[in-house]
């Protein structure tokens, strides 16, 4: 079937075409080219061929105009519309007969296929019938996965040509492994065992195969053991077996998803290991696909009394818990050891960075070691000791990476304690004798907390330690060591926003609270009880660059404090029984205030003059060091009795304070940018940028003993300021260089150097209220800042830039490096000269130009404004003016007096000597012409006229 389209154009379109489209060739100027109006098929339609083969007859169309005449040169586009295949040419031009031809190769799909010829709104569709090719293979279709034994699937075999078109033909079937799957004559496959088998279909010499997989899936599950039992903290391994849809056992244990209905009683992991959590029952479910199975797990309480080293991966709940001396219990994860009655640790309980809670329904006794320190020095893990009865820590060592909480009031319990019993509760008290609570320091890089692009993160605070007691609390030879705060995060960047580093984390506080008395006991030969709060973390450093760099160092973390509160009295039973200390020979530098962060700002240099724009000044820099951390609250005075020791202090002894240092203020350092250099159009250099630096304030000491109003501790030093970092910034802030102009061509005045950068610095003040030593202010150091820029050479030469005239240093000046704050050097004037020794040839009568007879020749050449040269001799004989070309050539003109004859016309054509930078070094050659008209100078005695041309040779330096 074919389709042709004939289109009749409206009259106004014809008129338009005739008006603007003359014939391609021949004819009169007012004739129009033929317009195609019909396209018809000439040959090639309704053929039959084999898939993938070319048709025997070409496809031909004919294009005619409205008058029925053939249209030559018309483009016909050929395209396959359906069935795939291809044409030999995507487009063709009609000949003089109006016909265009292409060849059609059929696609691989049997049945009807079409090709379209089109152009300018005209089209014809050709149709052909594609028949299958010869047999090439056997194709197999049907499901190939079976999930139960004796399950079946129907496969179909089909003879096909190379393109997959179906052909008539019978097939026979065979299985490559009948132990896995068998196949019937009609292609029905039956599963016999798990595995894979190749199923083959054959027709004559052709064959095809498909892989059938038998993989049983559970339709029902059975959970074992059917009635599991374990203890609190104990485990039991659960397994699941299954049957497929036809009732056959699934080989091996089924991979199931496990769950516990009551996780407060029992939990179960992905491998089926169930763990008892608390007494009771929980339904354990295994699921695999749509199949499920259940078993009820019973959890009973039992004593936890290991006699060998043991690892625990989860919580332990028991009637009583006892870890004897010589036994180590390792916690593999965060865990709570909960005892219904007593809990005793005489051995070791340890774990890497695990949060551990010991909860006793009766008394809690520790004489061994508890250690949950972290390998990762930036991580934390807390340690909680909770009891309903008495808490006794004798000779125990507690090492932690987080907070330590000791509480027998019930307020800190991770689990709700059991009801108090007379057997489990003898006395309400807390006894800490010979206890060592040691804190692992946080890592130096304390980037914990929230930070932004321009503000560093605040360092994590040290973890607080708390001992909260129902009844009396007794401490003897105890040591409670706080944790230092982490460092604040450093920040660096550029832009309009100030860069602010993170504050250091505060040191950990220590809280001792009892409803009864708090007693500090020291017998003869005893060490005192040490309360050592944590030190403040160092603030991060801030570094800013760019056009408006502003950097602010963070605030150092405050040192921790120790708070003691008693419902009764705070009893000190011997002199020095308790020492509130931040520094000790054994624990040096544990609780000083954190130092303030460094503020460092480096401004960009100004731009050099270019493109007609003048040089830009260097940009300003501003940096401020951070404040040092305090001892005591930084915003108020902290009293020893009343703020820290809250209650009635009694007894024969006294409380000893060992002083500490507050944090030093951070330094401010940086540099303003250099001014830009001048160029030929704008010769003056620009000024350097201003540098404003402020050292951080030293931290204050606001802690004192109000019995004598004596302040304890040394205040921190104020931060210094430095106009360099000692490495690469020691020339910043200089004024820009003036442009030099001694070049050949348009010689101009040399540019002036830019002014040096102002440098303003204020060191931080020392801390306040230190009795041993008050804080000292920082030192101001200059490193070659504020110098004026050097001027350029020229005619006249430029002046060097002035040094900074508002340099300010408040406080002690530690160092001023030589060449600091110096003015720039002046430029040199541009001048060339012909020195003595350069010959000027005289005439035969001895009439030498410019000079007397027999004297040595001497000429000088002085560049002036706008490239004008002035040449003078050794007497007031002549002055010549002129300009110099870029290559050094020049021509000077003027009049002078020669040998007593005034009004002589003189010209000087020459060339200057130039160096590699196109600067003048002298006159290399020249020709002096006088009285060219030969009408002024008289003839010589022999009646001859004077020669008018003289040569000048030689060179000279600036």
Mean pLDDT by groups of 10 residues along the chain of 958 residues: 39 34 39 82 92 92 92 93 91 92 92 93 93 90 90 91 88 92 92 93 90 90 88 86 90 87 94 90 92 89 87 84 95 89 94 93 92 86 90 91 86 40 51 88 55 81 90 92 88 88 91 93 90 89 91 92 92 86 53 82 87 87 89 85 87 75 85 82 82 86 77 75 49 69 65 74 76 72 65 69 66 59 74 44 44 38 60 54 72 72 77 65 70 70 55 44
3-class DSSP state for residue 907? strand
Residue 388, pLDDT score = 85
| Cβ atoms of 686 and 610 closer than 8 Å | no
How many angstroms separate the Cα of 537 from the Cα of each of 507, 552, 657, 699? 7, 17, 22, 13
The per-residue pLDDT for 947 is: 52
In terms of residues, how long is the chain?
958
CA 650 from centroid of its chain's CA atoms: 58
* Chain position carrying tokens 């995060």: 489
Distance (Å, whole) CA 712 – CA 292: 71
- Cβ contact 791:751 at 8 Å: yes
Q: What are the C-alpha distances in Å from 388 to residues 566, 637, 863? A: 19, 38, 104
CA-to-CA distance for 937 and 931, rounded, in angstroms?
Answer: 7
Residues 6+ apart with CB under 8 A from 649: 569, 570, 572, 641, 655
Nearest Cα neighbor of 928 from 807, 863, 812, 842 is 842
CB 489 within 8 A of CB 541: no
Amino acid 932: pLDDT: 74
Residue 243 bridge partners (DSSP): 220, 249
Is there a contact between 627 and 593 (Cβ–Cβ < 8 Å)? no
Output 322-326 pairs: Cβ under 8 A, ≥24 positions apart: 322/346, 323/347, 323/348, 323/349, 323/368, 325/367, 325/368
Element (H or E) spanning 331, and its range?
Answer: strand 328-331
Q: What is the pLDDT of residue 687?
A: 83
Answer for the pair 299, 276: CB distance below 8 angstroms, yes or no: yes
Strands 188-191 and 181-183: what pairing? antiparallel
Give the pLDDT score at 845.
46
Q: What pLDDT does 355 receive? A: 93
Q: What is the DSSP string of 188-232?
A: EEEE-SSEEEEEEEEETTEEEEEEEEE----SEEEEESSS-EEEB
The C-alpha atoms of residue 631 and residue 701 are separated, in whole angstroms, by 5
* Cβ atoms within 10 Å of 136's Cβ, excluding its own: 15
Would you put residue 25 in left (φ > 0), alpha (ψ -120 to 50) or beta? beta
Going by C-beta distance under 8 Å and a sequence separation of 6 or more, which residues neighbour residue 635?
A: none
d(CA 297, CA 291): 20
What was the pLDDT predicted at 766?
79
The first and second tokens of residue 523, run together, are 């017998």
Q: What is the radius of gyration, based on Cα positions, of the chain?
A: 52
Q: Do residues 526 and 481 touch, judged by C-beta distance below 8 A?
A: no
Torsion angle of C-alpha atoms 834, 835, 841, 842, degrees rounded to 10: 110
Integer Cα distance of 590 and 581 in angstroms: 9
Measured in whole angstroms, how far is the alpha carbon of residue 409 from the centre of its chain?
48
Taking the C-alpha atoms of residue 250 and residue 541, their distance in angstroms, rounded to an integer, is 65
Contacts of 58 (CB under 8 A, 6+ apart): 43, 44, 101, 102, 103, 104
**Tokens describing residue 441:** 């320091």
Report the alpha-carbon angle 546-548-552, nearest 5. 95
Rounded to whole angstroms, what are the CA distances from 910 to 303, 847, 882? Answer: 117, 21, 11
Using CA atoms of 286, 288, 290, 295 in order, give the dihedral in degrees to the nearest 10. Answer: -20
* 425 CA to centre of own chain: 58
Place of tokens 């699941």: 240
Residue 549 DSSP symbol: -
- Residue 439 has what pLDDT? 83
- Buried b / exposed e over 667-678, threshold 16 CB at 10 Å, is bbbbbbbbbbbb
Pairing of strands 122-131, 111-119: antiparallel
Sign of CA dihedral 112, 118, 124, 126: negative
Distance CA 748, CA 759 (A): 33
3-state secondary structure of 705: strand
Task: Encode burial over 463-483: b for 16+ CB neighbours within 10 A, e otherwise.
Answer: bbbbbbbbbbbbbbbbbbbbb
Q: What does pTM read for this prediction?
A: 0.59
- d(CA 733, CA 756) in angstroms, rounded, equals 6
> Rounded to an integer, what distance in angstroms lies between the CA atom of residue 435 and that of residue 476?
8
Per-residue pLDDT, 25: 35
pLDDT of amino acid 933: 74
> Which pair of structure tokens corresponds to residue 535?
């030190």
Report the C-alpha gap between 526 and 524 in whole angstroms.
6
Measured CA to CA, the distance from residue 935 to residue 940 in angstroms comes to 13
DSSP single-letter state for residue 90 = S
Q: Looking at residue 581, what is its pLDDT?
A: 76
Among 582, 567, 729, 575, smallest CA distance to 663 is for 582
Q: How many other CB atoms are found less than 10 A from the CB of residue 808?
A: 12
Cis check: omega of the bond before 225, within 30 degrees of 0: yes
Specify the pLDDT at position 136: 87
For residue 692, what pLDDT is reported?
Answer: 85
Would you say 613 and 557 are in contact if contact means Cβ atoms under 8 Å apart? no
Question: Contact, 581 vs 534, CB < 8 A?
Answer: no
Supply φ then ψ for residue 12, to 5 degrees: -70, -30
Residue of 190, 196, 274, 199 lying closest to 232 (CA atoms): 274
Whose tokens are 């300021």? That residue is 721
Q: How far is Cα 572 from Cα 591, in angstroms, rounded to an integer?
A: 24
Are 501 and 552 in contact by the 8 Å Cβ rule? The answer is yes
* 505 exposure class (CB count in 10 Å sphere: 0-12, 13-18, 19+): buried
| Nearest Cα to Cα of residue 118 among 129, 110, 126 | 126
Q: Is the dihedral of CA 877, 883, 888, 889 positive or negative?
A: negative
Distance between CA atoms of residues 143 and 196, nearest Å = 13
pLDDT reported for residue 653:
77
């Amino acid at each position: 079937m074919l389709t042709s389209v004939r289109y009749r154009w409206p009259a106004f379109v014809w008129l338009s075409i005739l008006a603007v489209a003359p014939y391609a060739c021949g004819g009169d100027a007012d004739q129009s080219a033929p317009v195609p109006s019909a396209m018809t098929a000439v040959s090639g339609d309704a053929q039959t061929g084999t898939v993938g083969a070319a048709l025997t007859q070409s496809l031909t169309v004919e294009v005619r105009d409205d008058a029925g005449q053939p249209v030559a040169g018309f483009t016909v586009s050929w395209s396959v519309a359906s069935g795939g295949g291809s044409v030999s040419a995507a487009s063709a031009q009609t000949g003089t007969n109006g016909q265009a031809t292409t060849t059609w190769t059929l696609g691989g799909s049997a049945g009807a296929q079409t090709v379209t010829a089109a152009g300018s709104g005209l089209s014809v569709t050709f149709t052909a019938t594609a028949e299958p090719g010869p047999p090439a293979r056997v194709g197999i279709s049907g499901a190939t996965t079976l999930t139960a034994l004796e399950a079946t699937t129907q496969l179909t075999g089909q003879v096909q040509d190379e393109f997959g078109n179906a052909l008539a033909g019978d097939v026979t079937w065979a299985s490559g492994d009948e132990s896995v799957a068998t196949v019937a004559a009609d292609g029905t496959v039956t599963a016999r065992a798990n595995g894979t088998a190749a199923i083959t279909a054959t027709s004559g010499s052709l064959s095809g195969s498909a892989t059938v997989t038998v993989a049983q899936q559970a339709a029902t599950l059975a959970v074992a053991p059917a009635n599991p039992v374990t203890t609190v903290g104990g485990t039991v391994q659960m397994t699941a077996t299954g049957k497929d849809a036809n009732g056959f056992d699934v080989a091996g244990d089924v991979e199931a998803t496990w769950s516990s209905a009551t996780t407060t009683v029992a939990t179960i992991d992905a491998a089926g290991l169930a763990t008892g959590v608390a007494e009771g029952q929980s339904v354990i479910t295994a699921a695999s696909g749509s199949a499920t199975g259940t078993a009820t797990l019973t959890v009973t309480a039992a004593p936890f009394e290991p006699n060998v080293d043991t690892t625990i991966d989860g919580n332990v709940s028991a009637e009583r818990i006892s870890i004897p001396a010589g036994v180590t219990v390792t916690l593999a994860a965060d865990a709570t050891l909960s005892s219904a009655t007593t809990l005793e640790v005489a051995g070791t309980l340890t774990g890497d960075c695990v949060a551990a809670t010991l909860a006793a329904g009766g008394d809690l006794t520790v004489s061994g070691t508890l250690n949950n320190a972290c390998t990762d020095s930036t991580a934390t893990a807390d340690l909680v000791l909770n009891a309903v009865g008495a808490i006794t820590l004798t000779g125990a060592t507690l090492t932690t990476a987080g907070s330590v909480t000791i509480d027998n009031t019930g307020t800190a319990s991770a689990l709700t304690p059991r009801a108090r019993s007379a057997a489990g509760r003898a006395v309400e008290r807390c006894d800490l004798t010979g206890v060592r609570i040691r804190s692992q320091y946080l890592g130096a890089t304390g980037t914990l907390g929230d930070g932004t692009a321009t503000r560093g993160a605040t360092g994590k605070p040290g973890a607080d330690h708390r001992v909260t007691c129902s009844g009396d609390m007794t401490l003897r030879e105890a040591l409670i060591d706080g944790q230092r705060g982490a460092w604040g995060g450093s920040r660096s960047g550029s832009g309009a926003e100030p860069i602010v580093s993170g504050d250091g984390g505060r040191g950990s506080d220590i809280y001792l609270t009892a409803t009864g008395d708090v007693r500090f006991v020291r017998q003869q030969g005893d060490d005192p009880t040490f309360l050592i709060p944590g030190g403040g973390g160092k603030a991060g450093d801030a570094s800013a660059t760019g056009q408006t760099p502003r950097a602010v160092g963070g605030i150092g973390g405050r040192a921790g404090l120790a708070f003691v509160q008693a419902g009764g009295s705070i009893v000190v039973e011997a002199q020095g029984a308790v020492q509130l200390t931040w520094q000790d020979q054994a624990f040096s530098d544990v609780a000083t205030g954190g130092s303030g962060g460094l503020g460092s700002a480096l401004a960009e240099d100004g731009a050099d003059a270019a493109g007609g724009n003048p040089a830009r000044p260097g940009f300003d820099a501003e940096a401020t060091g951070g404040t040092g951390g305090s001892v005591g609250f930084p915003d108020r005075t902290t009293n020893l009795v009343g703020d820290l020791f809250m209650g009635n202090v009694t007894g024969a002894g006294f409380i000893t304070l060992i002083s500490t240092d507050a944090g030093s203020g951070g330094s401010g350092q940086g540099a303003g940018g250099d001014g830009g250099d001048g160029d030929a159009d704008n010769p003056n250099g620009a000024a350097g940028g201003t540098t404003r630096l402020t050292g951080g304030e030293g931290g204050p000491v606001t802690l004192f003993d109000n019995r004598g109003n004596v302040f304890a501790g040394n205040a921190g030093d104020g931060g210094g300021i430095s106009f360099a970092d000692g490495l690469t910034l020691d020339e910043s802030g200089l004024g820009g260089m003036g442009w030099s102009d001694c070049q050949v061509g348009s010689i101009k005045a040399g540019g002036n150097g830019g002014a040096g950068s102002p440098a303003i610095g204020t060191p931080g003040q020392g801390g306040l209220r230190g009795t041993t030593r008050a804080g000292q202010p920082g030192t101001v150091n200059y490193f070659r800042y504020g110098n004026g820029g050097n001027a350029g050479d020229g005619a006249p030469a430029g002046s060097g830039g002035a040094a900074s005239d508002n340099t300010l240093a408040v406080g002690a000046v530690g160092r001023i490096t030589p060449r600091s704050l110096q003015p720039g050097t002046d430029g040199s004037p541009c001048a060339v000269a012909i020195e003595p020794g350069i010959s000027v040839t005289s005439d035969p009568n001895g009439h030498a130009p410019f000079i007397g007879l027999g004297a040595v020749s001497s000429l000088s050449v002085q560049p002036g404004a706008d490239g004008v040269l002035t040449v003078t001799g050794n007497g007031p004989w002549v002055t010549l003016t002129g300009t110099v070309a870029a290559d050094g050539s020049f021509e000077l003109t003027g009049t002078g007096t020669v040998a007593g004859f005034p009004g002589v016309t003189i010209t000087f054509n020459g060339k200057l000597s130039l160096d590699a930078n196109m600067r003048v070094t002298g006159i290399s050659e020249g020709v002096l012409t006088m009285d060219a008209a030969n009408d002024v100078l008289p003839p010589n005695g022999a009646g001859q006229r004077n020669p008018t041309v003289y040569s000048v040779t030689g060179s000279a330096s600036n």
